[in-house]
Amino acid sequence: MQSFAIKSLGEGKFENPRKHSTVSDDFIPLYVSEEFMKACGHTSENDGDALYFQEAGPREKIFFDPAKTKVGIVTCGGLCPGLNDVIRSIVMELWHGYGVRQIVGIPYGLEGFIPQKYGHALRELTPESVSTIYMLGGTVLGSSRGPQDFSLIADFLHEQGINLLFVLGGDGTMKAAEAISRAVKEKGLVLSVIGVPKTIDNDINFVEQSFGFATAVDEATKAIACAHTEAVGMYNGIGIVKLMGRESGFIAAHAAVSLSLVNFVLIPEAEFTLRGEGGLLPALKERLQKRHHALIVAAEGAGQHLMPETGRKDSSGNVILQDIGQFLQKEIKAYFKEENMPVAVKYIDPSYMVRAVPANADDRVYCGFLGRHAVHAGMSGKTEMVVAKLMGRYVHLPFSLVTRQRRKLDISSHYWFSVLSATGQSGLKGMI
């Protein structure tokens, strides 16, 4: 029996005002598919065994006294639809559900913990101040990239008297949250750190579908529809759309399978070739000869093996990628010039337009539950964990599990076969 234990600051001593519908700390079994486990770099002891997780939800007793608890909320890294919904939900649940009255927003990500350096002012958060923020994309708290000095952060939390910290961010942020938790403990302070995993790329380990992903796919399909329209508008028109996805092709794959107009989906996980048998370019030619228009969707991390490395990193420490969109345009134009076949290449890079929008209805519901469950976990004294939805259930996952690696699209999975079948690109080299 493999179970994922969750750290706790101690026993609950206070009555939970959310007395209805509490859950225990018992573990619930979930039969996670092998396909998913593989994508998460996990192996079950005995094939087909269940994994055991702590269920999310209000506990009978809570660890923190609502009247004395001070809460901080911080958003880190790139924007993602739903951030404001999670913030709103956390504030509403703390205020109306638990009676907590001291809630502060940490401005501009980790920078907000170091006012002596950055000068950003804390913001008081109340039901009124967050009431309509769901209408806005992005995060009303602001964000920033990259790490900060954890010891200074711990000092700040101490000075401010913050007992409970909600951290919205990606795997890098969750590593930082772990480091903050450790730094605080070293100073002998009591702090619960609860994460809500955020990634537009849907690549956080053991998180089946991250919030905002459905919205991003919605937006991505709009760009694809436009590229399709442009492609069919010209004889031998070729539409190319670049979508977010540095290390994983989930948005590209999902959008392509949603709007099945796409002929080629290029993702970082499947290393394609350009020329020769099974190459993209001859396949593209064949497609054009048959239908006189074609549509390519590429995740930004796709095809990096075909280009020299940039050797540069951004402020979050991520390698700066080569531009697959520019590369494809150049290669395609060169190839069809050689082939003496006039084509019209139309390139769309919606970039931030897939992520800087407000969440759709489903993502808003999801974010609402994530926020409420994060509060339940934090108030009950859990720490160094995130809330997540797995196999239809809300559970607690330890930081260590979600930061172990980034999840990838498994190209031997049934999901990917469905993508190949929807696009018809299974003849390409490197796709399986």
Smallest gap from Cβ 118 to its own copies, in A, equals 7
Q: Please classify residue 344 by burial: count the beta carbons closer than 10 Å to its beta carbon, then call 0-12 exposed, 13-18 middle and 19+ buried.
A: middle
Of the candidates 85, 201, 203, 363, the residue annotated as catalytic is 201
Integer angstrom CA distances of residue 260 from 181, 234, 303, 420: 45, 20, 22, 11
- Residue with Cβ nearer its own copies (139 or 181): 139
Q: Which two tokens stand for residue 81?
A: 């639809």
Give me the residue label for tokens 């020329």. 275
Q: Please classify residue 189 by burial: count the beta carbons closer than 10 Å to its beta carbon, then call 0-12 exposed, 13-18 middle and 19+ buried.
A: middle
Smallest gap from Cβ 182 to its own copies, in A, equals 27
Longest alpha-carbon distance in the chain:
78
Integer angstrom CA distances of residue 414 from 33, 34, 410, 419: 11, 11, 9, 9
- Residue with Cβ nearer its own copies (96 or 305): 96
Smallest gap from Cβ 273 to its own copies, in A, equals 20
- Residue with Cβ nearer its own copies (183 or 321): 321
- Residue with Cβ nearer its own copies (183 or 325): 325
Closest by CA to 106, choosing from 117, 86, 85, 122, is 122
Q: Is 201 a catalytic residue?
A: yes
Smallest gap from Cβ 23 to its own copies, in A, equals 8
How far apart CA 149 and CA 167 sit, in angstroms, is 16
- Residue with Cβ nearer its own copies (424 or 430): 424
The type of residue at 346 is: K
How far apart CA 415 and CA 34 sit, in angstroms, is 13
Closest by CA to 402, choosing from 239, 250, 210, 213, is 210
- Residue with Cβ nearer its own copies (77 or 381): 77
Smallest gap from Cβ 364 to its own copies, in A, equals 4
How far apart CA 179 and CA 149 sit, in angstroms, is 10
Smallest gap from Cβ 300 to its own copies, in A, equals 14
Closest by CA to 145, choosing from 180, 181, 170, is 170
Residues catalogued as catalytic: 201
